[in-house]
Amino acid sequence: MGYRVVVAGATGNVGREMLNILSERHFPVDELTVLASRKSLGTEVSFGEKTLKTKDLDTFDFTGWDIALFAVGSEATKKYAPAAAKAGCIVIDNSSLYRYDPDVPLIVPEVNADAVEGYAKKNVIANPNCSTAQMVVALKPLHDRATIKRVVVSTYQSVSGAGKAGADELWDQTKSIYNPTDDKPPKTFTKQIAFNVIPHIDIFMEDGTTKEEWKMVAETKKIIDPKIKVTATCVRVPVFVGHSEAINIEFEDHLDEDEAREILREAPGIMVIDKREDGGYVTPVECVGDFATFISRVRQDSTIDNGLNLWCVSDNLRKGAALNAVQIAELVGNRILKKG
């Protein structure tokens, strides 16, 4: 027996990637339905070799369905996820709506799989922010060995993190720079993104941090350890897919860079590519379409006691969103529903 699965928001970047990954990982689907807003009703999407037409999220009855993968944003999730959960369907939500709810587990399967047991309070499981997901995959095995005190992270986040509109804006602006009569002013972003970097993702908060930076702090504490201190600077860069992070870690105990490299090599979900030579590291272009979180540039930080630096790269549409959601669905199947 397999599962009856719903993908809500199937026409968006993340929804389409969810369908790709469900197919690639041979998730045991007995029946699959794809939902979208009324304006996208009837749009065709691919699931393996099949083509499916979207149905109306607004009128869909979730009764009898096992798992719903939501990729529709916080406002729509707030409206439709409670109805799905009440109908007995386990909701795996990619928006930020439930991430900080103490009654909803926030899951990265390689890091805190046991927390999935807490799903029953609301029948909802939250998917973390894309920049957090790849970072905690790298931090957790190192924390288990030497206990992390503090993390300083600078992100280099691709435009696909802002959806199709973000990718379109980079494409259109890049072309317009070579055509003086075709001006493309910023719409999705606050400043020109082509040939530029923007140290601003999401809204500003009272203390001067942005919401994206706050998310990385709050989510790392919830997923790994509330005692870890995190400070983040989140930057949008003119890259289509793939988030990169420069991570500086301070540990309670000494951790040699060679041992750290070996720990990461053995950790689930991680690929270490770290040669001290030209090209001996991974960049966003090389991570696109891959399931792994890539780690490079592992080295001691001699300016603090027990310090380490590393470079972390991952496909934000996969591990940062769709892949992690499907991995949670696999976890739900194996540990809770036990049908597949």
Q: Is residue 287 within 8 Å of residue 264, measured between CB atoms?
A: no
Residue type, 192: Q
Retrieve residue 284's tokens.
Answer: 């966003």
Judging by beta carbons within 10 Å of its beta carbon (0-12, 13-18, 19+), is residue 39 exposed, middle or buried?
exposed
Could you confirm whether 243 is annotated as catalytic? yes
CA 52-73-125 angle, to 5 degrees, is 90
Which residue intervals of the chain are DSSP H helices? Answer: 13-24, 74-86, 109-112, 130-146, 163-177, 211-223, 257-266, 284-287, 323-332
Retrieve residue 176's tokens.
Answer: 């317009």
Strand partners, 249: 151, 308
Active-site entry in 89, 234, 243, 287: 243
Whose CA is closest to 216, among 247, 186, 250, 240? 247
**130-146 vs 211-223: helix axis angle to the nearest 10?**
40
Q: What is the rounded CA–CA span in Å between residue 57 and residue 70?
A: 11
Q: Is residue 185 within 8 Å of residue 178, measured between CB atoms?
A: no
Q: What is the rounded CA–CA span in Å between residue 237 and residue 137?
A: 22
Q: Is residue 193 within 8 Å of residue 162, measured between CB atoms?
A: no
In this structure, what DSSP letter does residue 319 have? I
Could you confirm whether 26 is annotated as catalytic? no
Instruction: Give CA torsion, residues 177, 181, 187, 189, to 10 deg.
Output: 10
CA atoms within 13 A on the CB side of 231: 7
Q: Which residues are the active-site residues? A: 130, 243
